[in-house]
Structure 1
C-alpha cells in the first residue's frame, strides 16, 4: 500500500513537471530548461513504476520481477541508442529523428493496448473502448510517422497515389473501426485473438495508406498531426491504466500538438479538414501562369558589401541553410554587419524547414540571440522599410504568387513579404523550384538578385568581402 501512495505522488510530481516544462518550452530563451524539467518528470514517472513489485503478494512477484527486468533492459538499450543518435544527428536529419521518435511513442501506446487486450478479465465497457481507441490512434501514428520519416529521409521520394485512393482509404478505416467495435463486443469470446490481430493490421495499414499520398512540402503539418495523435493515444492508455502521469502527459502533448497542427494548417492556408482528409502536396499538380522577367545573378562579394552599407537587413532562413550547415557562418556575417551599425533581424515563417520550429532550432544552435528572431506576423510590416532582404534556401514561404496568382496552388497562403524590401538577395544552389514544385515569382522581380552556390561557400565569400573593407 505504501508503494501505491508513493507511485501516486510520483505521478502528480511528474505531471507537474510535464506542465511546467511545456510552459517553459513556449519561449526559446527558456526552452532548454523546459526540456530538462519534462525529462526529469519522465524519469520520475518511469522510476516510480518499478515500485509496483513491493505491493504484490509473494506468489506474483517472480512474474513481475521478470517483466521489470525486461523493462530495465529495454530502458538501457533504448536510452543508450537515443543518447548516441541524439548527440550525432545532423540538423538536416532532425525532422526525420523527430518523426521516428514520435512514431515510437504511438507504437508504445499501441503495444500497451495490445497487452491490456490480451489480459482478458473484465475491464468494463468504458475502459475497453478507451483501450481500443488508443490502440487505433497509436497504431496509425506509428506507421504514419515511419512513412513520414522515410519521405523526409529521401527513402520515399514522391507521393504514391492511384485512382479512387480516398475511397479505398475510407473503406480500410471503416473496416478497422468495425473490427475495433467487434473486439469490444466479443471481448470474452473465442474470436477475440483473430479480431484483435485484424484490427491492429487494419490500423497499421491505414497509417501507411494515409501518409503515402502526402507530398514532401506538407511534412511539417504531418509531423505535427502525428505528434497530436501520439499524445492522444498515450492519454487514452493512461486512462485505461489509471495512470495520472500518462493521462496528463498525453493530454498535454495531444492538445499542444492539435493546436500546433491548426496553426500550421492556417500558415499554409488550409482548413483542418483539408489537412486530415485531402491529398497533401498537390501543389505540384498546378502552377502559376507564365512568368515575366528573368533571374539576375549577383556576385556573393557584391551582395555582402551591399548589406554592409545598408541601414537594415532582414534574413529569411530556409532548409537550404540547414543542408549547407551554414548557420555558424551566417551568424559570423550577422555580427560583422551589426558591428558596422546595420540593424539585422531574422524572419521565421511557421512552415520554414521540414518540421515546426526547425529554423528556430537551427539559429539557436548557432547562438543567434532570441531578441532578433521574429515570427512572420511580428515582422511582415517591416519589409517595406527594409533596405535588404536576404533569403537563404527558403522558397515557397516568400513566393508572391501566394498573394497575386489565383491559379497558383499556394494562392492565399500567408507569406513573408520579402519582395517588398528595397533589394532582395537569394542564396540558392540552382534555378530549381521549391519543395512544392511551384515557380517562385520573387526570383524574377526587378529588385531581386540570385546569388548561386552552396550557402556555406556563399556566406564565406560575403564574410571575407566585409572583412576586406576594414583591412
Structure 2
C-alpha cells in the first residue's frame, strides 16, 4: 500500500468517525461517547496530515501540539459549568484566529500568492477575513459573557452600519488587490486589521440577550473559514471538518433565531439586550409577594403536577443537583415533575440540558418549549429558577416591549408560580418581567442552591 493510499484511507476513517460522533450528540446519554468518537476521528485526521510528504519540521509541530495540550486540557477540566459558554466562545475564536494566521503565513511564503492558482488566493484571503472576524468577535462575546465588557449594546448610533460596511469594503479591497497581483505586506496587514475591527464592532452592539445566537453564528463562521483554508491547502480533513462545523452551526443559528422570533440580520444589526442589572421599580400595584421555603414546600407537596423552569440563575448557583434531589422527593410523593427548556435559556445553546444531564435528570423529563407550553394550563405550580426573559409575558402582551413577539414559556398560565431569584434585577434583555408582579406569583429571594435546599428540607419534614 502506497503512502498516498494510506493517507486517503485514514481520511475516510476520520470522516466516518466525525459523522458518527456528531450523531451521538443528539442526546445526553450518547453525547460523551459521541465526543470521544469525534475526537478519535480528529486524531486520525492529524496523523494522516502529518504523513503528507513535505510537512516540515516535526519537532516544531510536536512542540505546538504539546503547548496546545498543556493549555487546553487543564482549562477544560477546571472550567465551571457556569463558565462553559465563555470557554466555548474563546475556543471557537482561537480556531478562527489560527486560520487567519495560516492565511498570513501562506501569503508571506508564496510572495503574495505570486505563483499560486487564483482559487488558492481567493480561498486563503476569504479565510483570513472570516477567521479574523470570528476571532475578534468571539473575544468580545467572551468579554460580554464574562462581564469584562458591558453586556448592553455598545455602538456608535447611526454610524454603526456605515462604519461596518466601510471596514468590510477595506478588507475586500485589500483582498482584491492581492488577487490582482499586488504583493505588499501592508495589504495583508490592512486586511487583517480591518477584519479584526469589523469583528469587534459587529459584536459590541449586540446585547447579552442575543449572545447564544452570536456564539453559534461565530462558530459557523470559523467552520467556513477552516473549510476555505482546507481548499487552499488541498487538505481534505480541513475541508470536511470545516463544512461540518459550518453547516451545523448555520442550522443551529437559524433555529435559535427562530426560537426568538428574530432574523439573523436583525440580531447582527444589534441593539437588543441590556443586561444592565438595574432593579425593577416596585410601587403601588407593582409590588411583589414574598414567600418562604416552608410555604413553597407546602405548595409543591400538595400539587399534582409541577414544572421546573431553569435559567442562568440556576447555573450561577450550581443548583442543578439540589433541584434533582427536590424533584425526586416530589416524585416519591406522587407529584409529576417536568423541566421546561427554552431554546435560548442560559448563555449558549443547550446550556440547561447540559447542566441537568450532569445532575442525572432523566432525559424524558426535559421538555422543549413547544411540547411543554400546552402543559402549563393544567400545572399546579411552576417553579422558575433564575429564568428571566424566557418567562416574560410581555413578549405576548406588550407591543412596546423589546422582546415582543419572542416565543416564551407560558409560565403565567399555571395555577401558581414560585420564582427563585437573588433580587429584582432584570435579565439579559434589560426589561421588566411582568410575571413577577402577577397575583399568582410569589418570590423566594436568595441563592438558588440554598433556596432549593431549604425547600427540600421542608419537604422532608412534611
TM-score, length basis structure 2: 0.94
Measured in 1, the distance between the counterparts of 2:267 and 2:234 equals 33
For the structure 1 residues 8 and 292, does the alpha-carbon distance in structure 2 shift closer, same or farther, using more than 3 Å as the test? farther
Is the contact between residue 11 and residue 245 of structure 1 (CA under 8 Å) also seen in structure 2? yes
Deviation at 1:291, TM superposition (A): 9.3
Partner residue of 1:159 out of 153, 157, 181: 153
The answer to whether residue 110 in structure 2 is matched with residue 116 in structure 1 is no
Mean Cα displacement is larger for which, 392-401 or 20-29?
A: 20-29
Aligned with 2:387: secondary structure?
coil
For the structure 1 residues 357 and 291, does the alpha-carbon distance in structure 2 shift closer, same or farther, using more than 3 Å as the test? farther
Aligned with 2:140: secondary structure?
helix
1:340-396: per-residue Cα shift (whole Å, max 9, x none)?
111001010011001111111111111111110011111111110111101000000
Measured in 2, the distance between the counterparts of 1:320 and 1:124 equals 53
The answer to whether residue 45 in structure 2 is matched with residue 51 in structure 1 is no
Aligned with 1:315: secondary structure?
strand
Measured in 1, the distance between the counterparts of 2:236 and 2:171 equals 29
Deviation at 1:159, TM superposition (A): 3.2
Partner residue of 2:439 out of 416, 441, 446: 446
Partner of 1:207: 199
For the structure 1 residues 86 and 142, does the alpha-carbon distance in structure 2 shift closer, same or farther, using more than 3 Å as the test? same
Partner of 1:396: 389
Is the contact between residue 399 and residue 441 of structure 1 (CA under 8 Å) also seen in structure 2? yes
Partner of 1:221: 213
Is the contact between residue 291 and residue 441 of structure 1 (CA under 8 Å) also seen in structure 2? no
1:150-179: per-residue Cα shift (whole Å, max 9, x none)?
111111124322231221121111111111
Mean Cα displacement is larger for which, 6-15 or 361-370?
A: 6-15
Partner residue of 1:182 out of 177, 181, 184: 177
Mean Cα displacement is larger for which, 110-119 or 209-218?
A: 110-119
Mean Cα displacement is larger for which, 337-346 or 262-271?
A: 262-271
Deviation at 1:108, TM superposition (A): 1.5
Is the contact between residue 389 and residue 418 of structure 1 (CA under 8 Å) also seen in structure 2? yes
1:105-137: per-residue Cα shift (whole Å, max 9, x none)?
111211222222222252211222111111111
Is the contact between residue 153 and residue 204 of structure 2 (CA under 8 Å) also seen in structure 1? yes
The answer to whether residue 72 in structure 2 is matched with residue 82 in structure 1 is yes
Partner of 1:266: 258
Aligned with 2:51: secondary structure?
helix
Partner of 1:256: 248
For the structure 1 residues 344 and 291, does the alpha-carbon distance in structure 2 shift closer, same or farther, using more than 3 Å as the test? farther
Deviation at 1:65, TM superposition (A): 4.8
Measured in 1, the distance between the counterparts of 2:17 and 2:103 equals 25
Partner residue of 1:423 out of 393, 416, 430: 416
Is the contact between residue 21 and residue 33 of structure 1 (CA under 8 Å) also seen in structure 2? yes
Is the contact between residue 325 and residue 456 of structure 2 (CA under 8 Å) also seen in structure 1? yes
Deviation at 1:283, TM superposition (A): 9.0
Partner residue of 1:311 out of 304, 307, 311: 304
Structure 1 portions without partners, runs of 5+: 57-63
For the structure 1 residues 170 and 280, does the alpha-carbon distance in structure 2 shift closer, same or farther, using more than 3 Å as the test? farther
The answer to whether residue 95 in structure 2 is matched with residue 101 in structure 1 is no
Measured in 1, the distance between the counterparts of 2:46 and 2:265 equals 37
Is the contact between residue 210 and residue 267 of structure 2 (CA under 8 Å) also seen in structure 1? no
Structure 2 portions without partners, runs of 5+: none
Partner of 2:322: 329
Deviation at 1:215, TM superposition (A): 1.2
For the structure 1 residues 291 and 271, does the alpha-carbon distance in structure 2 shift closer, same or farther, using more than 3 Å as the test? farther
Aligned with 2:155: secondary structure?
coil
1:228-260: per-residue Cα shift (whole Å, max 9, x none)?
101111111111122222111111110111111
Measured in 1, the distance between the counterparts of 2:88 and 2:187 equals 32
For the structure 1 residues 179 and 394, does the alpha-carbon distance in structure 2 shift closer, same or farther, using more than 3 Å as the test? same
When the two chains are superposed, the root-mean-square deviation of aligned CA atoms in Å is 1.8
Is the contact between residue 427 and residue 450 of structure 1 (CA under 8 Å) also seen in structure 2? yes
For the structure 1 residues 381 and 174, does the alpha-carbon distance in structure 2 shift closer, same or farther, using more than 3 Å as the test? same
Partner of 2:138: 145
Measured in 2, the distance between the counterparts of 1:104 and 1:291 equals 51
Partner of 2:377: 384
Deviation at 1:82, TM superposition (A): 1.2
Deviation at 1:292, TM superposition (A): 5.0
TM-score, length basis structure 1: 0.93
Measured in 2, the distance between the counterparts of 1:160 and 1:437 equals 14
Aligned with 2:137: secondary structure?
helix
Is the contact between residue 259 and residue 406 of structure 2 (CA under 8 Å) also seen in structure 1? yes
Measured in 1, the distance between the counterparts of 2:272 and 2:235 equals 36
